[in-house]
Amino acid sequence: MNASASATSAGKQPPVGIDLGTTYSLVAFLDPSGRPTTVPNSWGDLLTPSAVFCDDDAIVVGKEAIKNAPLTPDRYAECFKRDMGGMAFRHKIRDLNVPPEVLSAFILERLKKDAEQRLGPIHQVVITVPAFFDEARRKATQDAGRLAGLEVLDIINEPTAAALAYGYHCGLFNSETKTSKSPQQVLVYDLGGGTFDVTILRIEGMRFQAIATDGDVLLGGKDFDERLVNHIAEKFIDAHGADPRSDPQDATQLWFDAQEAKHSLSERTKTTAFCFHAGIRMRIEVTRDEFGELTRDLLDRTEMTTSFVVKQAGLDWSRIDRILMVGGSSRMPMVRDMLRRISGMEPDSSQSPDEAVAHGAAIYANMLMQQDSAPEKVNCELINVSSHSLGLVGINRQTRENINVVLIPKNTPLPCRAVRSFHTARANQRSVCISVVEGENRRPEECISLGKCMVRDLPSGLPPDTPIEVEYCYAANGRISVSARVPTIRQSARVEIKRDNANRPEDLDTWRKKLLGLPTASKDGFTSISPEANINDRESLQKHLDILYIKLGKVAAGLALPTQLSRSQAAASQASAECNRMKAQLKDAESARQAAVSRSEVIKIDALLAQARTKLHEAQTRADFAHLVLGRECINAGFRPPNTEHEIQEIEQLQQRMKA
């Protein structure tokens, strides 16, 4: 595994893998010795929170986004990985409905930028996905990579990536030991922040073959957090008659405090959670046993899925050699206790549950990059299985009802192909439409529609029951293509399943401008405000005009201005200085909160934190108004700050619309 050494010396990027997680994401690469290594972000942390905050002048990602969330929760988004692949699922930020692919792209863009500070330019990457992700979610992940300016070499299932990392650390990639290792059947239990997977793999030498997989894309640590949030809120309601979840700021802070309490309960048998609402601060003690009772059904769901996968693989627990625990939520003691109870063995914690997936993705990236340059060096084989059944919509001849005809059953080894013959429904049929669905249910409406494959312009006069051959190809990475042909006339059609391009997200810079209130270029070349806003709504026009004035004022504040603007400039400078002081006070309070030891200290500092956040919000409002006044007076005085031509042009357009 030393391809990265030669790549680096030749000026090429090293192999890079990205674990794009629901709650945390990270980047790994193969160092010159071929060892997978996590790349720290710009703060020096290995993990970057998958959180996005829209500030006045920038899109903020990571822990800084989390810090700002309680102040203005309407500018914050998290946990959007679950919604990937469904354009109906959008997150509202600043009154804009933002697709999850765009939010994920902001995360990937930040990871790319941080990694490039240490590794140099990065273009090619492997991105991980939950094994139970369907076709739509897999494609959406690739779209997010494209939006972030990355070439996605491939996507790899998270459990398979974790098994690769385990194989590396067990010496399977060492030429001296790889052939001497006896076959192992490894169960990967992957409980992340928002998704859950179980996969059983057979590892034999350098061959990694998935046998069975199952999971739940709507089950993860966030659901455990929610139970704790509701428990704390109900305790507060019982004591004070008010619901802290009713206030967006207090509710956001409650989520963060509940998550912190959950983490504490992984180390201690009891902890204290705090809840602040309506000027009241309440301390609530939570025990590990209480938390276990609150979330018992969630843990039971993972137990049922785990046991089911063992049966799907045709195995029993005595034939499972090892259990790998992956995902940050697998750290909860209740998880280890459950796995120990049902399996009769001690789960393996030798791999970092946070880093193993990214490390495996970097190893896989190395395999793909070797394949491009020296195929003879690639001696590791990956065989995944289909996470969902693949079929088409057929007609039951007896009942005339639509049915899902499964061509490739769930857990079929990939890549694979399947061919099946069907027949036209009537005489003189001029076209054939193949509706492709993904899922196990017999009823097509209960499955996921992937698209259609059309064979058009058939010759007239074809008799009924003319044979139609349908071929499905399922690639190793889970991507799908379908072809249909009429053998008697040698006419065919082939499609790779794609979504309607009209629903594809725009480029990332366009979305950045929309979220920051900057002008965007329309199809005719003229600038325009966001299409989400009603341009006939005077209130919306004024809102966008104010945002532009603020931006203009911020630029002008640092310039030498005409005398008539000096008073407004001084007011803007004073407001900015006050805002910076409030930011410093909040930062000091946050540092003191992390260093606090006693409960009395924590209570006192949390009160100061709440005050600091309120004061900062007020200071930011005053600073925005001062910059707005300065920007407006600059326009009235005919002063045009440099490099603000686009903003001024947009201001003039908006003023004309408001006069119309």
Spatial separation of the C-alpha atoms in residues 627 and 406, rounded to whole Å: 62
Sign of CA dihedral 296, 307, 223, 23: positive
Spatial separation of the C-alpha atoms in residues 60 and 113, rounded to whole Å: 13
Q: What is the pLDDT of residues 475-530, one digit of tens each?
A: 776 667 777 777 777 665 555 454 333 345 567 888 888 888 776 654 433 334 34
Both tokens of 268, joined, read 């201690």
Q: How far is CA 645 from the centre of its chain?
A: 36
Cα dist from 316 to 200, 204, 210, 319, whole Å: 12, 19, 16, 6
340 contacts: CB under 8 Å, gap ≥ 6: 346, 347
Instruction: Tell me the one-letter amino acid at 33.
Output: S
Burial class (CB in 10 A: 0-12, 13-18, 19+), 549: buried
Q: Give all strands (DSSP E) within 440-516, no chain letters.
A: 448-455, 467-474, 480-486, 491-496
pLDDT at 347: 94
Instruction: Report the predicted TM-score, pTM, of the whole model to 2 decimal places.
Output: 0.72
Under a CB-based contact definition with an 8 Å cutoff, are residues 449 and 482 in contact? Answer: no
Both tokens of 624, joined, read 């925005």
Beta bridge partners, 27, equal 18, 39
Instruction: Tell me the one-letter amino acid at 545.
Output: L
Categorise residue 439: left if φ over 0, alpha if ψ from -120 to 50, beta otherwise. Answer: left
Both tokens of 267, joined, read 């180390």
User: DSSP state, 20?
Assistant: -
Spatial separation of the C-alpha atoms in residues 161 and 358, rounded to whole Å: 7
CA max distance for the chain: 89
pLDDT at 521: 52
Spatial separation of the C-alpha atoms in residues 411 and 250, rounded to whole Å: 45
Spatial separation of the C-alpha atoms in residues 574 and 619, rounded to whole Å: 11
Spatial separation of the C-alpha atoms in residues 132 and 388, rounded to whole Å: 8
Cα dist from 238 to 232, 242, 245, 282, 286, whole Å: 10, 8, 14, 12, 16
pLDDT < 70 positions in the chain = 1-11, 86-89, 171-181, 371-379, 455, 457, 477-479, 490-506, 519-541, 594, 596-604, 606-607, 610, 658-660
Under a CB-based contact definition with an 8 Å cutoff, are residues 411 and 475 in contact? Answer: no
Spatial separation of the C-alpha atoms in residues 561 and 585, rounded to whole Å: 31
User: DSSP state, 413?
Assistant: B
Sign of CA dihedral 424, 426, 427, 429: negative
Cα dist from 616 to 76, 156, 622, whole Å: 17, 43, 10
Spatial separation of the C-alpha atoms in residues 64 and 386, rounded to whole Å: 38
Omega prior to 415 cis, within 30 of 0: yes
Spatial separation of the C-alpha atoms in residues 95 and 74, rounded to whole Å: 8
pLDDT at 7: 45
Chain position carrying tokens 């051959």: 469
Spatial separation of the C-alpha atoms in residues 105 and 150, rounded to whole Å: 10
Categorise residue 454: left if φ over 0, alpha if ψ from -120 to 50, beta otherwise. Answer: beta
Q: Of 616, 545, 608, nearest to 576 (Cα)?
A: 616
Q: Of 431, 408, 404, nearest to 419 (Cα)?
A: 408
222 contacts: CB under 8 Å, gap ≥ 6: 22, 23, 79, 193, 194
pLDDT at 499: 38
Dihedrals phi, psi of 64, to nearest 5 degrees: -65, -30
User: DSSP state, 349?
Assistant: -
Dihedrals phi, psi of 629, to nearest 5 degrees: -60, -45
Domains of the chain as residue ranges with CATH: 3-219+301-383 (3.30.420.40), 390-497 (2.60.34.10), 517-659 (no CATH)
CA angle 366, 367, 370 (to 5 degrees): 85
Cα dist from 529 to 218, 244, 365, 650, 660, whole Å: 35, 36, 41, 8, 17
Q: What is the pLDDT of residues 348-385, one digit of tens each?
A: 988 889 999 999 999 999 988 886 554 444 467 788 88
pLDDT at 271: 94
DSSP 286-311: EEHHHHHHHTHHHHHHHHHHHHHHHH
Under a CB-based contact definition with an 8 Å cutoff, are residues 303 and 319 in contact? Answer: no
